[in-house]
Amino acid sequence: MPQRIPPAAKRAGANASGPPDAHRSPPPAETDPDRLDAWTMRPIGVVRSPWRYVHDAPRQGTAVPADARVRAEIVLRRGMQNALRDLAGFERVWVVFVFSFARGWRQTVVPPRDTAHRGVLATRAPHRPNPIGLTAARIVSVRGRTVVIEEHDLLDGTPVLDLKPYIPAYDAHPAARAGWTADLPASADSDAADHRWR
């Protein structure tokens, strides 16, 4: 009677503890940040929002009263509707987008609720080395290649690079330290504290 060969052993070079040996030696990675290649990405979709100017949108998507929430649509490129399959089962979605209205970047900025200069990578300012933004929007509906969202801070015409489901078990860390924002006074949450519009 022929001896049965375990499925893992049928793969050339495979062993019981993981992938084939050929997969254990990835090509050498560049570890010098100044020698890394540039990346070019094509947006997967665009935002259709009633907000057209930065002063129209809220500072954060969740910083809006329930009775003042504004909906927006994320419309994907034609032919990408199947990529949205099963997304409707999630309550929220991470929207990875381009700060397409930002002009240039600077290493330090004064955040809207603060008076001190902070390192831009310690803030959510749009003027970044790579103008990439992230917001956790609430999903209202998914139909065809369109995702309707609310509790967002996205301007009309914002290019969308990616969508990822928000998973509370992995994405929520309510006990995490909040850095310099923890020292802001309670009054900093009001619109009057935003120095940009004074």
pLDDT digits (tens, 9 = 90+) for 39-80: 999 999 999 999 888 877 777 766 676 666 789 999 999 999
Q: At CA 128, angle to CA 84 and CA 185, rounded to 5? A: 95
1 vs 151, residue with greater confidence: 151
Tokens (6 digits) for 154: 């996205």
14 vs 109, residue with greater confidence: 109
DSSP string, 66-91: GGG---EEEEEPTT-GGGGTTGGGSS
Q: Per-domain residue ranges for the chain? A: 46-171
What kind of architecture, by CATH, is found in domain 46-171?
A: Beta Barrel (2.40)
Distance CA 165, CA 94 (A): 6
Q: What is the pLDDT of residue 15?
A: 55
